[in-house]
Amino acid sequence: MPDFPFTPYTPKIVTDEESVNNSQSFYNQMKERRSVRHFSNRPVSKEIIENLIKTAGTAPSGAHKQPWTFCAIQDPELKKKIRIAAEEEEYENYHGRMPQEWLDELAPLGTDWQKEFLEIAPWLIVVFRKSTETIKGKVTKNYYVQESVGIACGFLLAAIHNAGLVSLTHTPSPMNFLQKILNRPSNEKPYLLIPVGYPAENAMVPDLFRRKLEEISEWY
């Protein structure tokens, strides 16, 4: 017998025309999403962050294990500690750890080792992946952890944009310092660090383009 009782699925009924309109509307909204490095210190309510995380938690996962923990950080001292530790790693990355080819790719984006946005953004969300967890005293294995957490992060980024906020997918490598600073258990490993907030009034983003449909798809 399955652990989960089955229940009838009741889909929202839409016409073909509504489906086309909904898909086009969502695309029009999401194509405006950008990674932003210039944040306002304007407060964002905890309720909004809670809703964003709840949305991320609706993502599918291997065997429905939901192998993620979302740590929401508002405390200024914790954000400062994270910035200091992240900049230490990033300084090493930009001054020897990263190959020149990678540095050349980053150059047009204007990034460097300094990450002041980690203190300015009103919230940081650190996503942890869980390869195992203990349930009723028994250690159980999670499946497709990388894929599951990646999908959840996609849901989270879409939810952030839908709420009128901006974000940045920050991956200071290595990220073990996040586990230590946030005192997370050994079965949790940092996956992504996401500053969340409103854009600064003078926020700038690179004038990028996204590949066209025919460049990213094949039809059979």
Instruction: Name residue 17's amino acid.
Output: E
Q: Distance (Å, rounded) from C-alpha 114 to C-alpha 87?
A: 6
10: number of Cβ within 10 Å: 6
CA terminus-to-terminus distance, the chain = 39
211 in any annotated domain: no
Q: How confident is the model at residue 1 (pLDDT cuts 50, 70, 90)?
A: very low
pTM for the full predicted model: 0.94
Flag whether pLDDT at 126 surpasses 60: yes
The answer to whether 30 and 184 have CB atoms below 8 angstroms apart is no
Say what the pLDDT of residue 147 is: 98
CATH number at residue 66: 3.40.109.10
Q: Distance (Å, rounded) from C-alpha 128 to C-alpha 142?
A: 13
Q: How many domains is the chain partitioned into structurally?
A: 1
Count helices and strands (H / E) in the chain.
8, 6
Say what the pLDDT of residue 14 is: 93
6 in any annotated domain: no
Say what the pLDDT of residue 124 is: 98
173 in any annotated domain: yes
218 in any annotated domain: no
Which stretches does DSSP call E strand in 21-79? 68-73
| Strand order from edge to edge, sheet including 188-197 | 68-73, 123-130, 188-197, 166-167
Flag whether pLDDT at 86 surpasses 60: yes
207 in any annotated domain: no
Q: What is the dihedral of CA 193, 199, 200, 204, to 10 degrees?
A: 90
10 in any annotated domain: no
Q: Distance (Å, rounded) from C-alpha 135 to C-alpha 121?
A: 35
Instruction: Tell me which residue range forms the domain holding 40.
Output: 36-200
168 in any annotated domain: yes
Residue 208 CB partners (closer than 8 Å, separation 6+): none
Say what the pLDDT of residue 164 is: 97
191 in any annotated domain: yes
Return the bridge partners of 126, or none.
Answer: 71, 193
Distances (CA, A) of 11 to 8, 36, 173: 10, 36, 42
